[in-house]
Chain A
Amino acid sequence: MKTIKLLSIILITAFLFTSCEQCSNKRDEGVIKIGVILPLTGPVAEPGNNALNGIKVAVEQFNRKNARKIVLIIEDSKSNSKDGVSAINKLIEVDKTKIIIGDIMSSVFLACAPIAEKNKVVLISPGASNPKVRDAGDYIFRDYLSDDFDGQVMANYLFKSLNKKNVCIIAVNNDYGIGVENTFTSNFVALGGEVSLRVKYEQGQIDFKSILIKIRNAKPEVLYIVGNPVENGNIVKQMKEMNISIPITGNLSFENEEFIKVAKGSFDSIIFSAPYFDLKVDNDLVKSFVKDYLFMIKKEPDIAASLGYDVTQILIVTIQNSKFDLSNVKDKLYRIKNFRGVTGNTSINSKGDVLKDVYIKKISGNGDIYIVKLFSIN
């Protein structure tokens, strides 16, 4: 008796589930499903959630104006590759999504890329910066500049605009640091400059005094630091404590609260390269984004949110260009040229990599940031 009862319960539940799936399938017709994999928890949760907010704003703006609706299916990669891979498998196998906005972490994104490529699913990242993304596959795109581009921009700026000929580099000992360091060095040397010393440090290192003695003895005109915000902060602070006054340059990691928290007041100014991002610009697109974002999310958008917004806008334009035929989206993405977004002009090249505007910025000792120069992709 008991077995029959149990069996019938199982059968009924199974029936309910299958019938539910059928009815939901029916309801989904005409709806465009976009999968989202972002780190919503874990160490990278903050930019992950902000990017998601940007995506939501773009979708809301689209749904308000159009009869066909976009539905987001959101998965949490928990800031690690293992959960990212489970998420993309679920989105492809269970939800049957053809377009996925992929992780902002390069490691997670690169782990997901082969799965998307195999299943012919478009995967586009609002933040993966690793140079390897360029060769990750036909269906793999991003709306964020490759790391090595930073090194190239700064080498040109230092040599041509500031007329510096002798540089020392401090880089963090990981893929990212070594990648930027190598691009910077090859570009700077090709221009005719000299890189007199290249030192590396381990992630999480706190004591940089030995490195700094070496830098002081090398007497460079300028120092180029490629690292993480906290380590950068400690380097700059210890330079002040050791009375080393070599001008400092670097990249995006200087535009960061963590860096300021550690190094506040220990430097005059630092020049660094950063992606184009300016919410104060007089531009209808930016204004409508900021207005809707403030209304929906109740806080100011940051760069992660703006990139999430831009990626979704690029997808929406492509979906409209391909007349809502999702199998066409990949080919149309390659034709995106001079797309005007919140994060500047954007073009996608034949590798699925992106070309965007870059700023040279300056941060002063109290944390104020100024724009020095715009490097346009044109």
Chain B
Amino acid sequence: MQILINIILTSFLYFIIIISFTNIYTPSHFFSLTHAAVITFGAYFTYMLTAQAHAPLWLAIPGAIILATAVGVSTELCIYKPLRKRGATPLIMLIASLGLYVVLQNLISMLWGDDTKSIRTWEVKVGNEFFGAYITDVQIIIIAVSLTLFVLCLLFLHYSRLGKQIQAVSSNEELANIFGINSDRVILLSFAIGSALGSIAGILVSLDTDMTPTMGFKLLLYGIVAMIIGGVGSYWGLLGGALLLATAQHLSAYYIDSKWMDAVAYIILILFLIWKPLGFSGRRLKKVEI
């Protein structure tokens, strides 16, 4: 039972990261690795506002989300948009985003130091018992928040005007422009939504297990693996990808050794790339580059 709870918890965590990342990936068609820094910024801004500026948590969390979103949006405005205008390929954008990630991560190290920071002020206590397993309050919040975000994103993408525009730009940017959709605006907005979701993920993780300047990158890598397993294009496929990855990792840690968790994740990735490159959902995208 405890394993089951751990798997569910991890997969929901991965899941928020995937939906935040696909939000950026689908319209812009490149792997924005700076997203890892945005996740980390979410956590560190919360730390800044609570521990350093002494704001209450309910105020600090929205504040941190806004600040981290601003970071994400400004990367799009200052770096990616000019690059796109000059006809940069997704590979160039990927490398640019990697460089930018390194800069931002070092900025975090410089501002707050490399040691572990914690926004936890409450006492560590035994979790709530649930059929013989234990789950803490924060972990329940993580699951609840991800479920809510999942439903909201589904509704948003399928029923709102902007959601449909994002889908249009994802499938064919030029055609969308012809139909009068401003693709730059759509990409900017999807960056904003993705960054906000990413920073929420970062904050949730830091509430559960504290923060370090490199926390975002590892989370994002798992997110990307789960995204490829799940297949871009359907949220249900992505949920499946997150569940599969989390299950494989936890079972390998339990039955083999926890040093194999990463290896198992990447073995699954390679297997999927060979036999099912489009992932679970198997939907073909118009453009799948990199």
Contacts and interface: CB of A to CB of B under 8 A. Distances in A.
Given A230-B116, A258-B116, A262-B118, A211 B127 contact: no
B250 interface: yes
B2 A262 contact: no
A269 to B, nearest CB: 15
B111 interface: no
A205 interface: yes
Interface in A208-222: 208-211, 213-214
Interface string B236-252: 00000000000000100
Nearest to B137: A241
A207 B262 contact: no
A208 B10 CA distance: 12
A214 B126 contact: no
Nearest to A202: B259
B125 interface: yes
B263 to A, nearest CB: 10
Contact of A200 (B3, B129, B254, B258): B258
Contacts of A205: 258, 261
B124 A210 contact: no
A165 B245 CA distance: 38
A199 B127 contact: no
B126 A243 contact: yes
A187 B274 CA distance: 48
A120 interface: no
Contacts of A266: 124
Nearest to A244: B134
Nearest to A203: B259
Given A262-B118, A262-B210, A265-B123, A173 B259 contact: yes
A149 interface: no
B258 A208 contact: yes
B125 to A, nearest CB: 7
A213 B124 contact: no
A264 B126 CA distance: 14
Interface in B111-155: 114-116, 118, 123-127, 129, 134, 136
A52 to B, nearest CB: 20
Given A240-B126, A242-B2, A265-B123, A202 B262 contact: yes
Contacts of A213: 2-3, 6, 254
**What class of interface size applies to chain B in its complex with A?**
20 to 34
A367 to B, nearest CB: 13
Nearest to B135: A241
Contact of A243 (B127, B257, B258): B127
A202 B116 CA distance: 17
Contacts of B118: 261-262
Chain A CB within 10 A, most for which of B3, B116, B129: B116
B258 A210 contact: yes
B253 interface: yes
A201 interface: yes
Contacts of A265: 123-124
A228 to B, nearest CB: 10
Contact of B253 (A211, A237, A262): A211
B89 interface: no
Nearest to A173: B259
A207 B127 contact: no
B258 A234 contact: no
Which range contains the number of A residues in contact with the other chain?
Answer: 20 to 34
Contact of B259 (A200, A214, A234, A237): A200
A229 to B, nearest CB: 9
A186 B279 CA distance: 47
Interface in A159-177: 173
Contacts of B259: 173, 200-202
A233 B129 CA distance: 22
B253 A241 contact: no
Nearest to B254: A210
Interface in A235-279: 237, 240-243, 258, 261-266
B177 interface: no
A199 B257 contact: yes
B120 to A, nearest CB: 9
Contacts of A261: 115-116, 118
Contacts of B160: none
Contacts of B172: none
B182 interface: no
A240 B124 contact: yes
Interface string B4-18: 001000100000000
B209 interface: yes
Given A199-B258, A202-B258, A262-B118, A237 B124 contact: yes
Contacts of B136: 241
A30 interface: no
Nearest to B118: A261
A241 B124 contact: yes
B257 A200 contact: yes
Given A209-B2, A234-B210, A261-B116, 4 more contacts: A200-B258, A213-B3, A214-B254, A262-B116
21 contacts: A43-B114, A199-B257, A200-B257, A200-B259, A201-B258, A202-B261, A202-B262, A205-B258, A205-B261, A207-B10, A209-B2, A209-B6, A210-B250, A210-B253, A230-B116, A240-B124, A240-B126, A241-B124, A241-B127, A264-B124, A265-B123
Q: 4 closest Cβ contacts across the A-B interface?
A: A210-B253, A266-B124, A209-B6, A210-B254
